Structure 1
Amino acid sequence: MSIQWFPGHMTAARKHATDAMKSVDVVVEVLDARLPEASSNPMIHAIRTHRNRPCLKLLNKADLADPDVTAAWLKHFNSLPNTKAVAISARKPGEASRIPQLAQSLAPHRDDNLKPLRLIIMGIPNVGKSTLMNALVKKKVAATGDEPAITKSIQRIHLNPRLTLYDTPGLMWPKIEHESDGLMLAASHAIGRNAIIDEEVATFLGNLLQQRYPHYLTARYGCTPDMDGVSVIEHIAARRGYRIKGGTPDIEKASFTLLQDYRDGLLGRISLETPASRAQMLAEAKAKAADKADEMASDGAD
C-alpha cells in the first residue's frame, strides 16, 4: 500500500516557510525519535540548505523510543555537517529550556539585543512542534491535539530581546518515495486517518514488532513468536473479545488497538527504524530501481 497525504493548506505552508527562511538563523527540526529519518521532511532539508541554514534536530518523544537506537541516531546526525542533534521529550517540564543554548551554538554571531537569535520550528505533522513551542514560551500559544495538521499558519513570537521564534504548520511532502516510510508515518499518527487503512498499517506494524520486539507483543497480548502481522491482529481480536455482528472477529477494532497502544507507549519503548535498517532499505530500493531501469532498457532494445 502506497500512502500519500498532502492536504491543500500545505502548499501555502511550504511557500510561507520558504519565505520565512530568509529571516532566520537556525532551523529547529522536530523529528519523531521512533522514526527519525522517515519523519524528516526532505523539503525542509532542501529549503534550509538552499539558504545554508544550520539545523538543530530534536528527536522528540524520546521517552517512547528505544534508547539504544536513539543513541545510534544521535551519533549519525551529529556526524553530519552544520547539524546538531539531541533527544528530548517536549512534554516533560524543563526539557525545552535547553533548546535556545543549543541553537545558539550553531549561530554564535547572533548573541545580543541588536542581533537576536531567530529560530524557526519545523517538522511534519504530529511530532510535537506545538508542544515544544508552548514549552519554550511557557504558555499556550499553539494548538495541540492528537490529530495531525492542527497548526495551519506561521506565527512569530518575540520570546525576549535576544530570541525570536517562528512556529510553522506541520509540513508533509507531495510524494512519499518509500512505501515503508509511509507505513511508519501512518503507524505513528503523522498522517490523517482519511488517507490510511488501519488494518494494513497495523499488519505492517505487527510484522515489524515481531521482528524486533516480539517480547512486547507477548507481554501485552500473549502473542507467540511464530505469528505474522495478520495473526497478531487476529489474536488481539480473540484475546480482547472484539466481535462484530454474527460473531466475526472485529479486525478493524483490533488493528486500532495495536496502533493506539504503540502510539501511547503502552507496548514499551520502540523504534521503527535504525541507521542500519535505513541504510539497508535505501540500498534495496536503489538496487530495485537499477533492475527496473535495466529491464526497461532491455525492453526498449527489443
Structure 2
Amino acid sequence: MNEQNINIPLVQWFPGHMTKARRLIEENLKLVDIVIELLDSRIPLSSSNPIIKSMIGSKPHIIVLNKADLADPVITDEWIRFYKLMGKTAISIDSVKGKNLKTLMSAITALTKKQTEKFASHGANPRSARAMIVGIPNVGKSSLINRLAKSSAAKTENRPGVTRTKQWIRINKNIDLLDMPGLLWPKFDDPIVGLNLAFSGAVKDDIYDKEKVAMLLLDFLKEHYGPALLSRFNLTNLPDTCEELFHIIGQKRGCLIKGGNIDAEKVITVIFTDFRSGRLGRISLESPSL
C-alpha cells in the first residue's frame, strides 16, 4: 500500500469499559504465574497492545499467534522465527480447529514448572499453574479457552468487546486460566495499525468510513494477493483501479439496487466477510521482513 498516495482514514476505538479492563489486568497480574498474549496471525504487530507489554514486565510470557488458518503460512513462520530470535516463546495456533494446542499446553507447563514446584519445596501442596490470557478484542481468547476446557465456559461472538469481566476457567488439574476482557489502547499512533485492526474486525465497523477502508483493503490485496482476487471473483484480470474492482465485485455478487446501480453497503460486506472468513485464502497484512 502506497501511503504517500492514499489518505488513510483515522481509526480509533476505546470504549469506556476498556479502562476497567486495564485495571482488571493490572490488579490480577500478581495472581498468575504466566501471561499468554494472544495476537492475530495476520497482524501480529498491529494486534500487540503496548499497554499489555508494559504491564507484563518480567513475568513469564508466551506469544500466541491465533487464527493461523487465515494467515499466510510462510509469513507466519517468519514471525515465529522473529520472536524466537528476540528470546520469546512464540506458538502459532488455530483455536477453532485445535491446531498446536498441545504445544501451547506443554509450553505453559514448562515455563511455570519452577513456580509451581516452589510451593511443594516449602511443604505446601503443589498447585496448578495459573495463566492469564490477554489480547485485543475479537482475537479469539474465548474460543481458545473453550477449546482448551472442552466446554463453553467463555462467551464467544464474532464481534469485538464481548468479554467484559474476568473469569477463572479450570483447563485440567495442572492449569487454570484467567480470561480477561479484550483491551485496546487509547490512541493508535500509526494510522496503518488502526487500519489493520479495522480490516481484521478488531474494532467496530460503525466507527469509521467503511467504504474508504474497504477500498484500502482492496488496494492491499491487489498489490500483494492479486491471484486470490482473481480466483475468488472469477476474473481474468484485475482492473486498474480499486473503484473499478469494487464495482465489478458488486456486479459479480448481485449487489444491486433499483436501476442496476451498485449497493455499496452490500459490496463492503462482501469484501470484509470474504477477507475475515478466509474465503479469499490465507492472507497476512504484516511481515517482520517489511
Instruction: State TM-score, norm by structure 2.
Output: 0.89
Aligned equivalent of 2:163, options 137, 151, 156:
151
Match of 1:188 in 2: 200
For 2:17 and 2:212, the matched residues in 1 are separated by 27
Of structures 1 and 2, the one with the larger relative CO (CA 8 A, separation 6+) is 2
1:138 corresponds to 2:150: yes
For 1:160 and 1:143, the matched residues in 2 are separated by 19
Partner amino acid, structure 2, of 1:45: K
Match of 1:31 in 2: 39
Match of 2:13 in 1: 5
Match of 1:296 in 2: none
Aligned equivalent of 1:239, options 252, 270, 275:
252
Aligned equivalent of 2:28, options 20, 23, 35:
20
1:79 corresponds to 2:91: no
Q: Is the 8 A contact 2:238 2:245 kept in 1?
A: no
* Cα offsets for 1:184-230 (capped at 9, x unmatched): 11111111122123212211110101111000111112173443333
Q: Is the 8 A contact 1:156 1:165 kept in 2?
A: yes
* Cα offsets for 1:28-86 (capped at 9, x unmatched): 0111111111111111101102xx112211111111111100000111111223x2101
For 1:142 and 1:236, the matched residues in 2 are separated by 37
* Cα offsets for 1:244-267 (capped at 9, x unmatched): 234321122112101100111111
Q: Is the 8 A contact 1:5 1:191 kept in 2?
A: yes
1:230–1:181 distance in 2 versus 1, CA, 3 Å:
farther
For 2:246 and 2:252, the matched residues in 1 are separated by 10
Aligned length: 274
Q: Is the 8 A contact 2:13 2:203 kept in 1?
A: yes
**SS at 1:199's partner residue?**
helix
For 1:16 and 1:274, the matched residues in 2 are separated by 32
**SS at 1:107's partner residue?**
helix
Q: Is the 8 A contact 1:187 1:205 kept in 2?
A: yes
Q: How far 1:136 moved relative to its partner?
A: 1.4
Match of 1:88 in 2: 93
Match of 2:121 in 1: none
Match of 2:3 in 1: none
For 1:98 and 1:181, the matched residues in 2 are separated by 29
Q: Is the 8 A contact 2:132 2:177 kept in 1?
A: yes
CA RMSD between the two structures: 1.7
Aligned equivalent of 1:162, options 171, 174, 181:
174
Instruction: Determine what percentage of the aligned residue pairs are the same residue.
Output: 38
Q: Is the 8 A contact 1:122 1:129 kept in 2?
A: yes
Q: Is the 8 A contact 1:110 1:116 kept in 2?
A: no
**SS at 1:267's partner residue?**
coil
Structure 1 segment 213-292 matched on structure 2, within 5 A? 213-221=225-233, 222=235, 224-277=237-290
Q: How far 1:241 moved relative to its partner?
A: 2.8
1:46 corresponds to 2:58: no
Q: How far 1:94 moved relative to its partner?
A: 5.9
1:60 corresponds to 2:72: no
Stretches of structure 2 lacking an aligned partner (at least 5 in a row):
1-8, 118-124
Q: How far 1:93 moved relative to its partner?
A: 3.7
Match of 1:108 in 2: 113
**SS at 2:265's partner residue?**
helix
**SS at 1:190's partner residue?**
coil
* Cα offsets for 1:97-142 (capped at 9, x unmatched): 3322112332330345524311001101111100011111111110
Partner amino acid, structure 1, of 2:53: H
Q: How far 1:95 moved relative to its partner?
A: 3.8
**SS at 2:111's partner residue?**
coil
For 2:47 and 2:41, the matched residues in 1 are separated by 9
Q: Bigger shift: 231-240 or 118-127?
A: 231-240
Instruction: State TM-score, norm by structure 1.
Output: 0.86
Q: Bigger shift: 58-67 or 236-245?
A: 236-245
Partner amino acid, structure 2, of 1:132: L
For 1:125 and 1:103, the matched residues in 2 are separated by 23
**SS at 1:28's partner residue?**
strand
Q: Is the 8 A contact 2:149 2:172 kept in 1?
A: no
Q: How far 1:182 moved relative to its partner?
A: 1.0
